[in-house]
Amino acid sequence: MTRSSFDSRWRDPEQPERGGRDRFHVAINMDGNGRWALLRGQSREAGHVAGATAVRRTVESAPALGITTLTLYAFSSDNWRRPRGEVDNLMLLFQKHLDSECARLTDSGVRFSVIGRRDRIPDSLRRSIAHVEEHTSEGTSLHLRVAIDYSARDALLAAAGRVAKGIPPTREAFERAMYEAIHAPSGTRDVDLLIRTGGEQRLSDFLLWESAYAELFFTDVLWPDFTEADLASAVQAFAARDRRYGGIRTAAPMTAGASEQQPCDASSSASTTPLRPTRVRLG
């Protein structure tokens, strides 16, 4: 699999302007910490600690696999329903991890941000997040987004509320409003590949809008066991998918006069015919 044959799959005809450096967005629902610990007779907290090590491994291996944005689901808004002790430990773990990883993230050129609500997490965690976001803001090797107190439905509701108050009901304005609600930097490309570990096959209120055309990849590997090889396997599976964005694959020759780049593999004789003919490029 060459890098160039890969690149062609990263283009969504609906988002032609979102190019630049952000070319491949992978999101991961990191599931299985608790079961990993249970299998070893350890506490759930020990599973989360091992999960934090897997986070570091994954962040370190992402750029070499062509990943430019990585979004990790660390704590859903529904996770507040867990026992108080587990929630407190998770908040502490996030903070410890952030504080200890700040220099490493900065040195490796990772831009860090958190998506989700910020009004319910501990003050000290909120301060650590702001600190690391500021210190890593110039990073260009990878945009690492961690979802904490995140709910896609709540984000959608917040944007809908803004529409009710008068912002135009366009996709662009709606998305801007949604991103504001979750403190997400605007202009992040949609999710290309959504991975869930731990054997479950559901979305769990994660990036529902942004994953409209995401390729889904489920693995039984429990998150603490997730390695660079597992990430590479998921990326490999993604590269073999045929992304059509609602269009069709056709071997028809190009039409005269078409000039825009087609979102299909340039090395392939087949071309994708999206619904909007102005985007069709032949050849």
Which residues of this chain interact with ligand FPP, rule CB under 6 A? 30-35, 48, 51-52, 55, 72, 74-75, 79, 90, 93-94, 97, 146, 198, 223
Please pick, among 29, 31, 190, 192, the residue that the annotation labels catalytic.
31
Residue 150 Cβ vs ligand FPP, minimum distance, rounded to whole Å: 11
**Shorter beta-carbon distance to ligand FPP: residue 112 or 179:** 112
Q: Which residue is nearest to ligand FPP (CB)?
A: 34
Residue 42 Cβ vs ligand FPP, minimum distance, rounded to whole Å: 12
The verdict on whether 79 is a catalytic residue reads yes
Residue 57 Cβ vs ligand FPP, minimum distance, rounded to whole Å: 11
Per-residue HEC secondary structure of the chain comes to CCHHHHHHHHCCCCCCCCCCCCCCEEEEECCCHHHHHHHCCCCHHHHHHHHHHHHHHHHHHCHHHCCCEEEEEEEEHHHHHCCHHHHHHHHHHHHHHHHHHHHHHHHCCEEEEEECCCCCCCHHHHHHHHHHHHHCCCCCCEEEEEEEEECHHHHHHHHHHHHHCCCCCCHHHHHHHHHHHCCCCCCCCCCCEEEECCCCCCCCCCCCCCCCCCEEEECCCCHHHCCHHHHHHHHHHHHCCCCCCCCEEECCCCCCCCCCCCCCCCCCCCEEECCCHHHCCCC
Please pick, among 7, 12, 22, 79, the residue that the annotation labels catalytic.
79
Residue 194 Cβ vs ligand FPP, minimum distance, rounded to whole Å: 15
**Shorter beta-carbon distance to ligand FPP: residue 51 or 274:** 51
Query: Could you give the CA distance from residue 141 to residue 182 in angstroms, rounded to a whole number?
Result: 23
**Shorter beta-carbon distance to ligand FPP: residue 152 or 159:** 152
**Shorter beta-carbon distance to ligand FPP: residue 18 or 96:** 96
Residue 18 Cβ vs ligand FPP, minimum distance, rounded to whole Å: 25
**Shorter beta-carbon distance to ligand FPP: residue 30 or 159:** 30
CA separation, residue 212 to residues 189, 192, 246 (Å): 12, 9, 11
The verdict on whether 89 is a catalytic residue reads no
Task: List active site positions.
Answer: 31, 79
